[in-house]
Amino acid sequence: MTYRVLDIIRGTTVDGPGFRTAIYFAGCRHACPGCHNPGSWDFNAGQEMTLEEIMEIVREEDFDVTLSGGDPLYHPEEIAELARCIQASGHKVWLYTGFTIEEIMASERLSLPLPYLDAIVDGPFMEALRDPDLRFRGSSNQRIIDCRSMTGGGHTPLS
């Protein structure tokens, strides 16, 4: 299984709680006006990495992990498998996506990674709702959803 990876930041503190390994995947079609990184929209950007190459870095750094982009949910099968491996290695997983939790839960494919995630930061970046004081989010429409509480189809925004 391979992934198109834009970058891997080791020990970041801005993409979720504590020190984290943040992995940025190439490709996004949400085209949010004001996107922080339009270069990430290209599905062929970055470099190809195997599941094992990514997991080597995850294990080496020994941090919890954030999956971001681009939008990792354009590859739900591959991301589900990676998140499963990260969870099995004893690390928590946050995922950033431009899809809303309602869109994710309505789609069998988009919800494939859910069992292996601790939290999702959902929704497109909306320039009019941009707030630099928000923790871990760019605009106030985005929610931090606690995936561990998602039983019976419910979901709980942490903020």
Applying CB under 6 A, the residues found at the interface with ligand SF4 are: 28, 30-32, 35-36, 40, 69-71, 98, 124-125
DSSP reduced 3-state for 92 = coil
Q: Minimum Å distance from CB 75 to ligand SF4?
A: 14
Closest to ligand SF4 by CB, 14 vs 88, is 14
With CB atoms as reference, the residue minimizing the distance to ligand SF4 is: 98
Q: Minimum Å distance from CB 69 to ligand SF4?
A: 6
Closest to ligand SF4 by CB, 32 vs 85, is 32
Closest to ligand SF4 by CB, 68 vs 91, is 68
For residues 88 and 119, the answer to whether their CB atoms sit within 8 Å is no
Sign of CA dihedral 66, 67, 71, 77: negative
Which residues are CB-neighbours of 76 under 8 A, at least 6 positions away?
109, 110, 111, 112, 113
Q: Residues, the chain, total? A: 159
Asked whether the bond before 70 is cis by omega within 30 degrees of 0, the reply is yes
DSSP reduced 3-state for 3 = strand
Q: Minimum Å distance from CB 45 to ligand SF4?
A: 11
Closest to ligand SF4 by CB, 61 vs 103, is 103
Cα(86)–Cα(138) distance, integer angstroms:
25
Q: Minimum Å distance from CB 68 to ligand SF4?
A: 8
Closest to ligand SF4 by CB, 28 vs 58, is 28
Q: Minimum Å distance from CB 103 to ligand SF4?
A: 12
